[in-house]
Amino acid sequence: MRRGRSGTSSRGFDKLRAPGSKSPDMSAARPPISRLAFVASDRPEAIDARARLAFRYGDTPPEEADVIVALGGDGFMLETLHAFMAAGKPIFGMNRGTVGFLMNDYGENLLVERINEARATVIHPLAMTALTLDGRLERALAINEVSMLRETHQTAKLQIAVDGKVRMAELFCDGALVSTPAGSTAYNLSAHGPIIPLGANVLALTPISAFRPRRWRGALLPHTAEVAFEVLEPEKRPVSAVADNHEVRDVQRVEVREARDIDLVMLFDAGRTFEERVLIEQFSV
């Protein structure tokens, strides 16, 4: 999932289930959808599109809507997923931004029919728990990835444990990240991590500019794995933890796991599913 600019608070850890989210198509999941809520990024074309669509189809308050229609780019799609995470609302995005990897093509005709025929993709975020040097405990959710990043010119020095067992005693690097399958085409791919099919049930653990050991390219982990980063020499080599765009500075320990009790539902036009887009990305040159 392309990189966005959203953070969450610890309230995002409340258990949620999106009704019918396990069904592959909306018509099988629930009665026909008619109540739409429109949200838009701050781009002029997105704002204009929202006004036209709301006039044409009505604009139901988000808490009463069947589906949230997000108008913008990939970053705004992530913001919308974070904003309505606790509500469990399916999100149908239409591209009024730049890249649009997470968005459907923009079109004003037959929108209700498109949404009723859409295919649902269910993803699970990562839950991050970060302990800072001054003893604060912060929690956040990440749809794409949780990243450990050096704060200064000094390389980060990390110890990595998986399910309580140390797997990497010392990693000198610019950082490291844990990526969801949905996020594997974003920062993870830029850091030379693997693209992961959505149904693979694995997470990517990927170093960022590893200095020592130079040849370590990361690992694929079961989606049930719990990853713990211990920051070595944190005063000399300060490190930030970032869950999507929610940053916690000066951390000493960060734990990451998949939040399987949270379902996030995105809707895609039939024939243009998210799974198909991820597959196409693997053959891009």
Buried (b) or exposed (e) across 154-171, using 16+ Cβ within 10 A? ebbbbbbbbeeeeebeeb
- The type of residue at 208 is I
**Residue 262: phi, psi to the nearest 5?**
-120, 120
Token output for 112: 């209700």
Residue 180, classed as helix, strand or coil, is coil
- Pairing verdict, β 264-268 and 91-95: parallel
Q: How far is CA 35 from each of CA 4, 55, 61, 138, 160, rounded to the nearest angstrom?
A: 27, 13, 9, 36, 47
- Is residue 152 within 8 Å of residue 238, measured between CB atoms? yes
Helix (H) or strand (E) holding 243, with range, is strand 239-243
For the annotated catalytic residues, the residue numbers are 74
